[in-house]
Amino acid sequence: MKRAAAILLMITLMISCFLLQGCGNIDDINDGTSSNKELTAEELYELVSPSVVEITGEAPLGTSTGTGFFYDNKGTVVTNYHVIEGCTSAEVTLANGSSYKVDKVLGYSVDRDIAILSTKCTSSTPLKIRETAVKTGETVYAIGSSLGLSGSLSDGIVSAAEREVDGQTYIQTTAPISHGNSGGPLLDKEGKVVGITSASFIDGQNLNLAIPIKDVANISTKNPITLGEVFEQTGHEVEWLSDYRFQYYEEEDTYVLLFQLADKNENPMSAIGTVDIRIVNNDGASVYEKKHSFSEDNFEEWVYDDVNEMYLATIYISPSSIDSGSTEYGTVFFEVYGNDYGFEECSIEVFDLPTKSLTIQLPQLPLTVHDYGYSSKIQASLRIDSITYEKVYEDSLYIYFSGEKTYDVNGNNNDSWISFDWKLYDSENYLVDHGTFYTDSISVGDKFKNKYVFVADGIKAGESYKLVIVGAEENNDKETQIPDTPKTPRVTSLGNYSLTAQSDNTKYAFSFVLNDQDGKSMSNSGQIEIKIVNNLGVTVYSNTRSFYKNDFQNIGSASDQKYQLTILVDKEDIDTDFSSEGTFCFRISGSEFTFEEKSITITDLPSITVQNPNTPLYVNTISFNASSGSYGVSHTVRIDSFSYEIDMFGNLSIYCSGEKTYDIKGSSSTYFCEMNWRLYDSDGNLIDYGWDTVSGLKVGDKFKDHKINITTINIIAGESYRLEVFDSSYE
């Protein structure tokens, strides 16, 4: 679990399997150890490490680990409040391995995230507190239990001496800070404490925050209390209901209602209570209604996306207890309450409710079907041995046919398809759907299995239907014979299809050729089903066009005729969406032929455009130069290219590639470079702005597809945008 800040997402830096969730001066009794000269990293570590402790807290929902440091020689430890938040007991472990119980909490502040603890350690060596404020550009060190590895030291600079986040002032530093560093000291080069490491930007690199050490003096220590009393003061009563969902688990054959309860500080918790559950399907029928009592035993750990671990109440509902209805779609309404809490009714849409079974009256099998084409004589025959069906989606149906080709007027070895018409009626004899079934090109004796037709809509659960194969039994009076006349050309293949944009770029031109059994092109009548789907899976165009023999043009010569048909698709008829790339899908068929769906890649669909800055573009980081005592260029990157992409929700991502060209600290320095950016719409309105960093590069190192952290979520399809990127300054 992680606690989210209101404006800026931050992760608190402690190892914890939960998020546990309180204020004014401490006497200036610090007389700690430090050096009055600049120390090497080795000298500094040797000096301060005995004064840094690892803190382990125990709470009802798990264990918390963080860092602290001795503030005086009486065993007083300073750390972050969130390290001991929700804990009922804790202990500190020194670098020499000795451990001491936390005796009292001398004072704490939830808002400033500071806690002052007392221990029984009588030989503590405090760290020296720096009395002057830090300056941007100073070298600093962080020490703590990074990822549980106690005594881990890292270094960096003060990238901003005062950084306001959510109304609180922090020191921003590049000193790497990991989970478990929370509460540890941020030190200057003399080993003096300048801050308490506290948090990190979740999407930044080496963008970390520390609480100024001067804030500790504002915490009152006049009323010491135990950790248990802190726990009671900060509250652990049910105040929040969140993260609810309703799911069906096929392997266990059960539905599950999940929800999270939390205290006023948004810490997840278990409780005793009741949940009233009511399920109504989209036809308005109530299919389930019941009260469920729950206790602490109903709360379980759930992991989503292999990352997010959640502590949720789990209510199981058997599918057999839900009445089967006429639709899978509906809404789950539920109300959660207990002796001292209660929440308004919530709702969740559901898409897989139990439904009544449907039945289809099928023809008696086996069934022989004749295909006459345009003749009065039978051209081909097949035997249907099996018909099955499957309901899919909300109101759709697949009907599957299996059987064998038994006759062909052109001989047993002739490959050709066979078709027959079908109709589907409901129990009141209303026609629901109809169409034509086609086999593949097969010879006499070839079998086909589970070739299907699709009923797109109109199917209702619990209804009874009747399938009719048109002409299956009524053609016995027609003579079955092989024609005396020569065989006529018939369509057997599709070729030379292409998609191009017309010169004025207002239409797409789709062309294709139909070939006969001898491989010669020919004209014929039929229809083409066109569907354009972009790379986000959105259908932006769908249409069915009929075509006729006269629509074909001879693009060959008189002696070598080649008939081609061109279908025009107006770009204005294509829906504008967020992706310019997609697929042009088409299926061509006629009374005597049909071809499987084919597709062509398309790269210029109507979508948004972003006007990027001209490249190459040099972007400077302006920061304080301690040597000169003024602000100037400290780092430079050259951006050689920009690119962008949009996801299906309209979220914009912009990427840049280039090279680091300058570093004031030298060509081997890997300090980060910053840039500011703004995004405008076509009317010049500012849509979004921010800053971004490129880090870990030396001069001459190139970077590719670095993502600029655009957070805009109101991108409009079809709109044009303009991106500006410029120098970043700490002035």
Secondary element (H or E) of residue 44 = helix 41-48
Q: How are beta strands 380-392 and 396-408 bridged, if at all?
A: antiparallel
Whole-number Å distance between alpha carbons of 148 and 112: 24
The 10s digit of each residue's pLDDT in 8-37 is: 333 343 333 333 333 345 544 455 566 678
HSE of 640, CA atoms in CB hemisphere, 13 A? 9
Is the pLDDT at 306 greater than 90? The verdict is: no
**Please, are residues 412 and 405 in contact by the beta-carbon 8 Å criterion?**
no
What's the pLDDT at 2? Answer: 31
Q: What whole-number distance in Å separates Cα of residue 138 and Cα of residue 719?
A: 45
Distance CA(557)–CA(680), nearest Å, equals 56
* pLDDT, tens digit (0-9, with 9 covering 90-100), for 568-600: 999 888 888 878 889 999 999 887 788 888 999
Smallest CA-to-CA distance from 536 within 643, 653, 642 is with: 653
pLDDT at position 48: 92
What separation in angstroms does the CA of 104 have from each of 58, 90, 221? 15, 10, 10
Active site residue 82: yes
Q: What integer is the mean pLDDT of 152-164?
A: 91
Cβ contact 125:73 at 8 Å: yes
Q: Please report the pLDDT score of residue 29 as a whole number.
A: 47
Q: What is the pLDDT of residue 23?
A: 36
Question: What percent of the chain has a predicted confidence (pLDDT) above 70?
Answer: 87
Residues 179 and 200: their CA atoms lie apart, in Å, by 9
The DSSP 8-state label assigned to residue 550 in this structure reads G
| Residue range 98-107: mean pLDDT, rounded | 94
The pLDDT score that the predictor gives to residue 1 is: 32
At position 195, the amino acid (one-letter code) is G
Between CA 146 and CA 287 the distance in angstroms is 53
The per-residue pLDDT for range 44-59, each reduced to its tens digit, is: 999 999 999 999 988 7
> What pLDDT was estimated at residue 51?
93
651 pLDDT above the threshold of 80: no
Specify the pLDDT at position 72. Answer: 92
- CA distance linking residue 459 with residue 463, whole number of Å: 8
- Give the phi and the psi of residue 83 in degrees, each rounded to 5: -70, -40
pLDDT of amino acid 618:
93
Considering the candidates 16, 51, 109, 113, report the single residue annotated as catalytic: 113
DSSP 3-state of 728 = strand
Token pair for 460: 């209702």
Give 428's DSSP letter: T
Residue 658 pLDDT more than 70?
Answer: yes
Say what the pLDDT of residue 480 is: 39
Q: Are 500 and 512 in contact (CB under 8 A)?
A: no
Measured distance CA(513)–CA(520) in Å, rounded:
10
User: How far apart are the C-alpha atoms of 224 and 25, rounded to whole Å?
Assistant: 12
Helix or strand run (H / E) with residue 233: helix 227-234
pLDDT at 493 over 70: yes
Interatomic CA distance for residues 293 and 277, integer angstroms:
11
Q: Which of 611-615, 644-648, 714-718 has the lowest mean pLDDT?
A: 714-718
Helix (H) or strand (E) holding 470: none
pLDDT at residue number 648: 67
pLDDT, residue 518, reads: 74
Longest dimension (CA), the chain: 117
Task: Give the model confidence (pLDDT) of 183-202 as tens digits.
Answer: 999 999 999 999 999 877 65
pLDDT (tens digit, 9 = 90+) per residue, 396-455? 889 999 999 999 888 888 888 888 889 999 888 888 888 899 888 888 999 999 999 999
Catalytic one of 178, 182, 270, 579: 182
* pLDDT band of 484, cuts 50, 70, 90: very low
- Would you list the DSSP string of 650-713? --EEEEEEEEEEEETT-TT----EEEEEEEEETT--EEEEEEEEE-S--TT-EEEEEEE-----
The pair of three-digit structure tokens given for residue 51, joined into one six-digit string: 């004064």
CB distance 460 to 395 below 8 Å? yes
Task: Supply the pTM of this predicted model.
Answer: 0.39
pLDDT of residue 475: 38
- Range in 76-85, 100-109, 233-242, 525-534 with the lowest mean pLDDT: 233-242
pLDDT at 14: 38
Cis omega (within 30 of 0) for bond into 354: no
Strands (E) located in 502-651:
507-516, 521-522, 526-534, 539-547, 553-554, 563-570, 582-589, 598-602, 609-611, 617-625, 630-646
Gap between the Cα atoms of 194 and 134, Å rounded? 7
Q: Reply yes or no on whether the pLDDT at 541 is more than 50.
A: yes
Decide: 382 and 369 in contact? Cβ < 8 Å: yes
CA distances to 152, 292, 362, 475 from 75, rounded to whole Å, are 22, 51, 87, 103
Q: How far apart are CA 204 and CA 214, in angstroms?
A: 26
Q: Which range has the worst mean pLDDT, 299-313, 330-344, 644-658?
A: 299-313
Half-sphere exposure of 204 (CA within 13 A, CB side): 24
528-531: long-range contacts, CB 8 A cutoff, minimum separation 24 = 528/567, 528/586, 528/587, 528/588, 529/586, 529/587, 529/588, 529/589, 529/597, 530/567, 530/569, 530/584, 530/585, 530/586, 531/585, 531/586
Is residue 113 among the annotated active site residues? Answer: yes
Which residues lie below 8 Å from residue 409, measured CB to CB, with a gap of 6+?
Answer: 377, 378, 379, 380, 481, 482, 483
Average pLDDT of the chain to the nearest whole number: 83
pLDDT digits (tens, 9 = 90+) for 127-138: 999 999 999 999
Please enumerate in sequence order all residues whose Cβ is within 8 A of that of 350, keeping only pairs 6 or more positions apart, or say none: 246, 279, 329, 330, 331, 332
Stated as kind and residue range, the H or E segment containing 281 is strand 273-281
Structure token pair of residue 46: 């040797």
**Given the residues 16, 34, 64, 82, the one annotated as active site:** 82
DSSP code of residue 376:
S
Are 564 and 556 spatial neighbours (Cβ–Cβ below 8 Å)?
Answer: no
Residue with tokens 């303009």: 722
Cα angle 507, 508, 514 (rounded to 5 degrees) comes to: 135
How sure is the predictor about 713, in pLDDT bands with cuts at 50, 70 and 90? low
Q: Which residue has the tokens 């204020």?
A: 23
Q: What is the pLDDT of residue 129?
A: 94
